[in-house]
C-alpha cells in the first residue's frame, strides 16, 4: 500500500527534479483524462507540467547475441539457431538469443549432475559466501538490471528499479545465510540436498523469479538447470555473467534459453531430481502428470484469481490505492493480482467512484519513463489474450470502464479496465486474465463474501480491507489462499513464504518454508 501511495509523491518529486522541456504529448494526455472530476482537477496542477523522465539506457551492456550458459561457459546452441528477443514497448529487437533444445538440456543436466558431487560436499559456510557474493554483485549492477528488465519485459522502470531488482538481490542475501544453518530449520532431522533441480520460470518477473528459484536451491546444496521464459531471457543471462564472475564452480548453475520443448525436455530428463515451476496452471498440471511414477520432487507456483475484499468500515482511500496496486501492478501480469474485487454493498458506489477517479491519473506508456504507472504488456500473444477477455466481458453483459488515456501506437499496451456488475458465473470472473482487468462484485454479509471468494479453483492470495481486527482474523482464517494481505496488497519479502492452495499449486518460496522443497531427510 505504501508503495502505491508513494506513486503520486514520487511523480511530483521527479517532476521537481527534472526540468527537461515539456513535450506536449504527456501533459495533453494527462489533462485530457483529468478534466472530469474534482479530484482529477487537483491533480492537473501536478501533471500538466509533467515532463517525461526517461531512464537512460546508455550505461547498460548488452550483447547483440546471447548463448547458453552451461558448465560455467557461454556456449552456442547445438542447433545453431537463435531467436529475436524484443522490447514489447516498441516491438523492436534487442538481441538474438540461443534457442536451446533437448540436447542442450541434456548437456546442462549432465554438467549440473557432475557439479553436484563437489557442490553438495562444499562446506556450507563456503556455499553461503558464493551466494552472498552474487547478492552483492546484483546490488552493484542494480541499475543495469532494472533497465534491461524494463526493456525486455515491458514493466515500468519504477517497478523494476524499486521492486524486482532489490528483491532479487535480497533473496540471494537472505538464503545465503541459511546455507550453514539448515539443521535448525528442521527439528530432529538431518537435511540433505536432493540433487539437480530443473527450474522453469515465467516472464512476469524474470530476474526475481530466477532469484526465488536459484537462491534456496544453492543454499541447500543443490545444482540447477534454469530455463527462463522465452520472451524475457535477458536478465537471467546477465545473471549468468554475474554467476560466472562470482567464481561459483562450473556447472552449479546452468541456464538454457528456449521454448516450451526445452522446458519439457528439462521436466522429462531422467537425471533431474526436482522440478520447480512457476507459470500457468495448465502447464503445472502437465508437469505434475509428466513426472508421475518417478521420484522427482516438485513444487508448483501457478495461476491465481485473488479476491480483494473491501468492507464498509475499511479506510476507503487506502483501499482504493490497494485496489489499484492489486490489479495494475506490473500491468496485471501477477499471479497473485487482486483481480476479483468484492465491495460491501453500501460503500460500493463510493469506492467505484473513487477508483475511477484514481484510475484517470494512471499513466500508461513508455516503461522507461519514471512517471509511467502501467508499462507495456509483455507480448503480442498476451495482449491478444487480454483483449479477448475484454471483449468477452462485454459480451457477458458486464459494464466496462476504461480511462480514455492515450496509449502509444507502437508496442503492446492495454488501458486499465474495470468490469462492473459481474457475477460468479462470468468467465472473466472465473478465469485468470493476467492483465490490467478488474472485475467488481458487491456483497452484503461476511458469509456471502467468504463463499464467493473461495468458490474458485485457485487459491494463491487474497486481500481484506477493514478497520476491525477480529474481522480480519475471521477472514484470513476462512479464505483458502496462501497469502493474505490485510489492509495492504502485493507485498513481497525474502523472509515471507509465498505459494498457493488448491489449483494455485503447492510448496512455498521464501522464508524458512522455502527451504523444504530443496531438501530431503
Smallest distance from the beta carbon of 274 to another protein, in angstroms?
15
- Give the torsion through C-alpha atoms of 164, 167, 168, 169, to 10 deg: 130
Q: If DSSP codes are grouped into helix, strand and coil, which group holds residue 248?
A: coil
Binding residues for another protein restricted to 302-341, rule: CB under 8 A: 302
Calpha distance 235→211 (Å, rounded): 11
- Nearest CA to 498 among 241, 221, 208, 250? 208
Nearer Cβ to another protein (119/465): 465
Check residue 24 for interaction with another protein (CB under 8 A): no
Total of chain residues touching another protein, rule CB under 8 A:
47
Check residue 520 for interaction with another protein (CB under 8 A): no
Residue from 301, 432, 503, 509 carrying the catalytic annotation: 301
Check residue 291 for interaction with another protein (CB under 8 A): yes
Check residue 521 for interaction with another protein (CB under 8 A): yes
**DSSP symbol at 29:** H
Among 285, 380, 471, 520, binds another protein (CB under 8 A): 285
Smallest distance from the beta carbon of 233 to another protein, in angstroms?
27
Task: For residue 336, indicate whether it is catalytic.
Answer: no
The span of 12-20, 57-65, 101-109, 481-489 binding another protein (CB under 8 A) equals 481-489
Check residue 288 for interaction with another protein (CB under 8 A): yes
- Sorted by sequence, the CB contacts under 8 Å of residue 469 that are 6+ apart come out as none
Cell of 19: 526540468
> What backbone phi and psi angles, to 5 degrees, belong to 57?
-110, 15
The span of 13-21, 124-132, 365-373, 485-493 binding another protein (CB under 8 A) equals 485-493
Are the CB atoms for 174 and 203 separated by under 8 Å?
no
Check residue 82 for interaction with another protein (CB under 8 A): no
**Burial of 121 by CB count in 10 Å (0-12 exposed, 13-18 middle, 19+ buried)?**
exposed
Are the CB atoms for 34 and 43 separated by under 8 Å?
yes
Q: What is the residue-wise DSSP string for 369-407?
A: BTT-SB---S-HHHHHHHHHHHHHHHHTTPEEEE-----
Taken in order 256, 259, 265, 267, the sign of the CA dihedral is positive
Check residue 79 for interaction with another protein (CB under 8 A): no
Check residue 168 for interaction with another protein (CB under 8 A): no
Count the neighbouring beta carbons within 10 Å of the beta carbon of residue 239.
27
Cell of 219: 543454499
Check residue 517 for interaction with another protein (CB under 8 A): no
Nearer Cβ to another protein (330/504): 504
Smallest distance from the beta carbon of 438 to another protein, in angstroms?
21
Residue from 262, 335, 336, 405 carrying the catalytic annotation: 335
- Nearest CA to 326 among 213, 465, 205? 465
Check residue 506 for interaction with another protein (CB under 8 A): yes
Check residue 505 for interaction with another protein (CB under 8 A): yes
Nearer Cβ to another protein (376/453): 453
Binding residues for another protein restricted to 179-238, rule: CB under 8 A: 187-189
Check residue 491 for interaction with another protein (CB under 8 A): yes
Nearer Cβ to another protein (167/383): 167
Smallest distance from the beta carbon of 495 to another protein, in angstroms?
4
**Burial of 293 by CB count in 10 Å (0-12 exposed, 13-18 middle, 19+ buried)?**
exposed
Calpha distance 214→171 (Å, rounded): 9
Cell of 324: 489499484
Check residue 485 for interaction with another protein (CB under 8 A): yes
Check residue 289 for interaction with another protein (CB under 8 A): yes
Task: For residue 414, indicate whether it is catalytic.
Answer: no
Check residue 286 for interaction with another protein (CB under 8 A): yes
Calpha distance 407→267 (Å, rounded): 40
Check residue 495 for interaction with another protein (CB under 8 A): yes
Nearer Cβ to another protein (172/413): 172
Taken in order 128, 131, 137, 139, the sign of the CA dihedral is negative
Calpha distance 475→307 (Å, rounded): 11
Among 115, 482, 517, 519, binds another protein (CB under 8 A): 482
Nearer Cβ to another protein (410/445): 445
Smallest distance from the beta carbon of 71 to another protein, in angstroms?
32
Q: 399-402 and 417-420: which strand pairing?
A: antiparallel
Site string for another protein, 457-476 (x = CB under 8 A): x--------------x---x
Check residue 508 for interaction with another protein (CB under 8 A): yes
Calpha distance 201→180 (Å, rounded): 27
> By the criterion CB under 8 A, which residues form the site for another protein?
1-2, 170, 187-189, 281, 284-289, 291-293, 300, 302, 457, 472, 476, 481-488, 491, 493, 495-499, 501-506, 508, 511-513, 521
| Catalytic residue annotation | 301, 335
Amino acid at each position: 500500500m505504501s508503495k502505491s501511495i508513494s506513486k503520486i509523491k514520487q511523480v511530483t518529486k521527479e517532476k521537481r527534479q527534472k526540468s527537461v522541456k515539456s513535450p506536449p504529448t504527456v501533459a495533453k494526455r494527462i489533462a485530457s483524462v483529468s478534466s472530469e472530476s474534482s479530484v482529477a482537477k487537483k491533480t492537473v496542477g501536478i501533471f500538466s507540467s509533467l515532463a517525461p523522465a526517461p531512464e537512460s539506457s546508455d550505461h547498460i551492456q548488452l550483447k547483440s547475441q546471447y548463448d547458453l550458459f552451461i558448465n560455467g561457459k557461454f556456449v552456442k546452441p547445438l542447433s545453431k539457431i537463435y531467436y529475436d528477443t524484443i522490447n514489447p514497448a516498441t516491438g523492436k529487437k534487442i538481441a538474438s538469443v540461443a534457442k536451446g533444445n533437448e540436447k542442450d538440456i541434456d548437456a546442462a543436466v549432465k554438467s549440473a549432475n557432475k557439479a553436484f558431487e563437489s557442490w553438495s560436499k562444499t562446506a556450507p559456510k563456503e556455499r553461503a559466501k558464493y551466494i552472498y557474493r552474487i547478492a552483492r554483485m546484483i546490488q552493484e549492477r542494480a541499475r543495469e538490471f532494472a533497465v534491461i528488465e524494463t526493456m525486455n519485459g515491458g514493466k515500468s522502470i519504477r517497478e523494476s528499479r524499486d521492486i524486482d531488482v532489490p528483491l532479487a538481490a535480497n533473496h540471494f542475501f537472505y538464503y545465503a545465510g541459511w546455507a550453514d544453518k539448515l539443521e535448525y530449520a528442521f527439528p530432529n532431522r538431518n537435511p540433505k540436498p536432493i540433487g539437480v533441480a530443473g527450474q522453469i520460470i515465467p516472464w512476469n518477473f524474470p530476474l526475481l523469479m530466477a532469484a526465488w528459484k536459484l537462491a534456496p536451491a544453492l543454499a541447500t546444496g543443490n545444482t540447477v538447470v534454469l530455463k527462463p521464459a522465452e520472451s524475457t531471457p535477458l536478465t537471467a543471462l546477465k545473471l549468468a555473467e554475474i554467476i560466472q564472475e562470482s567464481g561459483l564452480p562450473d556447472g552449479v548453475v546452468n541456464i538454457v534459453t528456449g521454448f516450451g520443448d526445452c522446458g519439457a525436455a528439462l521436466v522429462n530428463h531422467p537425471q533431474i531430481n526436482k522440478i520447480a515451476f512457476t507459470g500457468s496452471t495448465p502447464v503445472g498440471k502437465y508437469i505434475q502428470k509428466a513426472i508421475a511414477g518417478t521420484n522427482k520432487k516438485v513444487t508448483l507456483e501457478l495461476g491465481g484469481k485473488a479476491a480483494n475484499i473491501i468492507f464498509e468500515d475499511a479506510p476507503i482511500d487506502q483501499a482504493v490505492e490497494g485496489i489499484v496496486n492489486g490489479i495494475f501492478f506490473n500491468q496485471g501480469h501477477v499471479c497473485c493480482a487482486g483481480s476479483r474485487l468484492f465491495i460491501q454493498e453500501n460503500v460500493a458506489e463510493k469506492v467505484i467512484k473513487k477508483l475511477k477517479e484514481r484510475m484517470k491519473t494512471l499513466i500508461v506508456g513508455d516503461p522507461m519513463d519514471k512517471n509511467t504507472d502501467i508499462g507495456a504488456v509483455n507480448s503480442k500473444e498476451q495482449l491478444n489474450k487480454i483483449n479477448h477477455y475484454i471483449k468477452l466481458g462485454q459480451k457477458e453483459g458486464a459494464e466496462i470502464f476504461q480511462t480514455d488515456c492515450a496509449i502509444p501506437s507502437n508496442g503492446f499496451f492495454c488501458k486499465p479496465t474495470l468490469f462492473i456488475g459481474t457475477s460468479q458465473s462470468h468467465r472473466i470472473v472465473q478465469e485468470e486474465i493476467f492483465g490490467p482487468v478488474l472485475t467488481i462484485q458487491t456483497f452484503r454479509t461476511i458469509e456471502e463474501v467468504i463463499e464467493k471468494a473461495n468458490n474458485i479453483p485457485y487459491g494463491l492470495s487474497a486481500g481484506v480491507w477493514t478497520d476491525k481486527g477480529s474481522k480480519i482474523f475471521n477472514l484470513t482464517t476462512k479464505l483458502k489462499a496462501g497469502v493474505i494481505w490485510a489492509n495492504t496488497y502485493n507485498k513481497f519479502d525474502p523472509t515471507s513464504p509465498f505459494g498457493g492452495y488448491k489449483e494455485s499449486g503447492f510448496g512455498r518460496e521464501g522464508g524458512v518454508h522455502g527451504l523444504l522443497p530443496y531438501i530431503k531427510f
